[in-house]
Structure 1
Amino acid sequence: MSSFLPFKDLESERLLLRQITSNDVNEVFALRSNPETMKYIPRPLVTTTDDAMDHIKMIQDKIEKNEGINWAITLKDNPKMIGIIGHYRIRWEHFRSEIGYMLLPEYQGKGIITEAIQLMLDYGFNEMKMHSLEAIIDPKNTASAKVLEKNDFVKEAHLIQNEFYDGKFLDTVIYSILNNS
């Protein structure tokens, strides 16, 4: 099992993925309080910057406990956080982790998440030594499905009404990719 400390920044052609800090509280608030960015994420909206700070603290705690790792997505020429991506629900004993991501609306549709997922694949397979990575999405989230398929994820399952949130039963779709190297 690898350790997430010391925290490692990741770089691609356009992106720098760095640690999320308390300085990102306004951007975390913008992401997690926006009904549009949270439309396919069955979690309550944050309503205060204190809620956003609690979210940042939870992310930092998971890194310290080696239970999950998230990065702030930034453009190389600008340190402002524009999104979050990371490995959630890591099952070390099964060599599998779930990736998840969010991006501010004004940066969507520019290939940023596709590029960031490539960094997640590299980190997950080469640093974490995972055998497979998964992404669990709302079946109505066609943009996320397209991004995953573009990154060679395969639809593994469509689970019917397997989650209950906000008084409704919701379906989920699982995409995965195997480490074939």
Structure 2
Amino acid sequence: MLTIDFSDFPELETQRLKLRRADLNDVNELFALRSDPNIMKYIPRPVATSIDEASEHFKMMDEKISNNEVINWAITLKDNPKMIGTIGFFRMKPEHFRAEIGYMLLPDFHGKGYVTEAINGVVDYGFSTMGLHSIEAMIDPENIASAKALEKCSFVKEAHFKENEFYNGQFLDTVIYSKLNK
């Protein structure tokens, strides 16, 4: 089984990005992400309706990081510390050397390759430093941009589950992509 310890939080750098631990200074950007119906339409979670909700979400995530249950980075440009998105590992299964990756990006930064760059950086960390064997991503089948980003990062579509999740009064499909540490 993997030993996971995020007490010394890892900052990651890619060609254009710096991935750092989010803090309460990022609450406005977190609210912008989680309150945007276009961003949240592919994420079966409630849309944030206030800064206080975003702040509570931040505190919950920070506690989970401190308890080594998840790791989540703020995505920033190297020349600007303002958060433009988030990326991290959720539903970690250390006994199986596996984790799920998830990410969100503010609309002004879509289509510039930042998500692909961040995915590659986080996957490299997961395989080389954490010792993961596999990383999976669960996405809405209509989220074509996310599917393309995962495929650019050599993730493979493994499954399409029909109506496997019930949210907001309807059954939703889920597509699972994965990447193995070769």
Report the TM-score, using the length of structure 1 for normalisation: 0.98
Tell me, in whole angstroms, the C-alpha distance in 2 between the residues paired with 1:101 and 1:145: 12
- In the alignment, is residue 38 of structure 1 matched against residue 48 of structure 2? no
Q: Deviations over 1:39-98 (max 9, x none)?
A: 100000111111000111111111111100000000000000000000000000011000
Residue 8 of structure 2: SS of its match in structure 1? coil
What SS is found at the alignment partner of 1:80?
strand
The match for 1:59 among 32, 54, 61 is 61
Counterparts in 2 of 1:65-80, with a 5 A limit?
A: 65-80=67-82
Classify the secondary structure of the residue corresponding to 1:101: strand
SS in structure 1 opposite 2:68?
A: coil
> Partner residue of 2:181?
179
Which residue identity is paired with 1:123?
Y
2:18 paired residue number: 16
Q: Could you tell me whether the CA contact under 8 Å between 1:2 and 1:127 is conserved in 2?
A: no
Provide the residue aligned with 2:146 in structure 1. 144
* CA drift at 1:123: 1.0
Matched, 1:125 2:141: no
Any runs of at least 4 consecutive aligned residues in structure 1 with deviations exceeding 4 A, and if so which?
A: none
CA–CA distance in 1 between the matches of 2:59 and 2:129?
A: 24
Which stretches in structure 2 are left out of the alignment for 5+ residues?
none
The reply to whether residue 115 of structure 1 matches residue 117 of structure 2 is: yes
1:127 positional shift: 1.5
Q: Which amino acid aligns with 2:40?
A: M
The alignment-based identity, stated in percent, is 63
Aligned length in residues? 180
Q: Aligned-pair distance for 1:157?
A: 0.3
TM-score normalized by the length of structure 2: 0.98
Q: Does 1:93 align with 2:95?
A: yes
User: What's the secondary structure of 2:58's corresponding residue?
Assistant: helix
Indicate the SS of the match to 1:37.
helix
In 1, the alpha carbon distance for the partners of 2:165 and 2:122 equals 26
Residue 64 of structure 1 aligns to which amino acid in structure 2? S
Distance in 2 separating the partners of 1:13 and 1:131 = 25
How far the C-alpha of 1:8 sits from its partner, in A, is: 1.0
